[in-house]
Amino acid sequence: MERDSSETILSIQDLNVKIGSSYILKSFDFQISKKEVHALVGESGSGKSTFANTVLGLLDKKASVSWKKFHIFSQDVPNGDFSLWENWRGKRISLIPQTAAIGLHPFLSIGSQILEYFSLIQPEFANEETCIRLLKEFGLSDPIAAWKSKPHQLSGGERQRILVLLSVYSGAELILADEPTSALDPNTGKAILELLKSRVKELGAGLLFISHDLSSARELADTITVMRSGEKLETLKNQNGSWEPHLEYSRKLFTLDENPA
């Protein structure tokens, strides 16, 4: 059933993450709604991956975390309490990793891995006929051969399409994609991102897209938050295909992206 596109999935106010006396995230605010693609961009070390790990409930045990408000799935989470994530992670929150090496077992067939995954997460999809149909839908040229293959027998693009498929059809309301196409050639990466965006919107989920690649973020996102040194600089909305950053740092990022050296 399609979800209400106006519903907020996640709203955070004044999130702080420290290791020792050093802030990794400071006074960070964020919000994402269903059917929205919200991209986080910024240079390495800006705090993007730390924020992703916070949303996944997978922060380093050495980290100290606090917030003023953490409202997710219509629930207010007590300050610093991650106990609810045990039931959410993999079901209501899904991660698309950077490479298939993280998400696929190298010695098991693709078919056996997909069946095992869906039998645990979405039993209605846990049959060969449905899974092969989904493989075809996600651009596998020979889905029957892919079903019988081991991961190393497929291309990087094919493996990543499978990870996207699993995440999108997990039933998750919030999907995190952390540099999901960084290991792929530009054309393959663009095709996978377009597929991901269309499926997320069709199913009514929200997509948190984390990338240092501003070009991909600009094409994919409805909203872009620019980060620097663990802080949010500004949040921008797509204005009919154009972006209008206000701060100098953001303008420089967008200018460099438009006019690469």
pLDDT in tens, 115-163: 999 999 999 999 999 999 999 999 899 999 999 999 999 998 899 899 9
Residues 176-202: pLDDT tens digits? 998 888 777 888 888 888 888 998 999
Position 259 scores a pLDDT of 60
Residues 83-104: pLDDT tens digits? 999 999 988 999 998 777 778 9
The larger pLDDT score, comparing residue 212 to residue 12, is at 12
Q: Is the pLDDT assigned to residue 12 strictly greater than 60? A: yes
From residue 185, give the alpha-carbon distance in Å to each of 67, 86, 135, 152, 230: 39, 35, 20, 17, 29
Q: Which residues contact 87 (CB under 8 A, 6 or more apart)?
A: none
Rg (alpha carbons) of the chain, rounded to whole number: 18
Contact 225, 38 (CB under 8 A): yes
Average pLDDT value over all residues in the chain = 90
Of 54, 91, 96, the residue nearest 73 (C-alpha) = 91
CATH topology for the 8-258 domain: Rossmann fold (3.40.50)
Contact 55, 39 (CB under 8 A): no
Q: Is the pTM of this model over 0.75?
A: yes
Read off the pLDDT band of 56 (50, 70, 90).
very high
Q: Is the pLDDT assigned to residue 36 strictly greater than 80? A: yes
Position 5 scores a pLDDT of 44
Of 245, 213, 224, 195, the residue nearest 37 (C-alpha) = 224
For the chain, the structural domain boundaries read: 8-258
Contact 6, 27 (CB under 8 A): no
